[in-house]
Amino acid sequence: MKNTALITGASSGIGKELAKIHASKGRDLILVARRKELLQALKEELVKKYNVEVQVIQKDLSVVGSSQELYDEVVQNGWEVEYLFNNAGFGGKGAFLDRELEADVVMVRLNVMALLKLTHLFGKDMKARGKGKILQTASTAGFLPGPYQNTYFATKAFVVSHTKGLAHELKGTGVTVTALCPGPVATEFAQVAGFGGSQMFDGAASAQKTAQKAYAAMEKGKTIFISELKFALLIRVLMPFMPLSITSAIIAKMQQS
């Protein structure tokens, strides 16, 4: 396998679109997700269209020990990962104390712990080789308070902060790390998180365009990439001057709409 990317959450949404972009460049893939039939269908599409090598691994990365299992399987097969796309993740609507605690624990295991472990395991190998690129799917939520989707926002704040620090540590190593920070994107996320029909996802960006922008930002070695201009302006220009109480109230209203 050559120029190989490992993509988590590859069966749909941004992960699926990243796979298509990577394959279109003649680069090989390791697709990881829970739904094997969707991965297999994507594999067949990419192999037929782009004549690349694609491996499929069915794995639920929210399960304790699964990240190490995934890494071990890749190493045992002799596959060298040059691109790591930590894309798997989910959200959940509701007041924190009213939600089932285990649901949020599982969210943290996937959104934070799996990302942390895979970045460490594959990132260490990249650093030893002196080359590699890591793309972390974060969110503009990582810059904001998150009433009524508290744990999800907190997990994305971790990804943003971790990426900033890691990018500095990796300077001069040949390895870069980029955090993709989109606003609402038209994927399965809204339904899974309990936001079906919510006004918050009206006018959501397409997964394809978001992935294209993210891939380009990763190749340029950008650290933090906010994919929509209006959200970049909100976070970088307006938010620093807004009281926390007002920001929180706006987000709370959006989550409950």
Amino acid at 248: S
Structure tokens at 172: 């001069």
> CA-to-CA distance for 107 and 101, rounded, in angstroms?
10
> CA-to-CA distance for 139 and 180, rounded, in angstroms?
7
User: From the candidates 71, 83, 152, 215, which is the catalytic residue?
Assistant: 152
Which residues are registered as beta bridge partners of 178?
135
> CA-to-CA distance for 186 and 202, rounded, in angstroms?
9
- Asked if 83 is an active-site residue, the reply is no
Supply the residues annotated as catalytic. Answer: 152
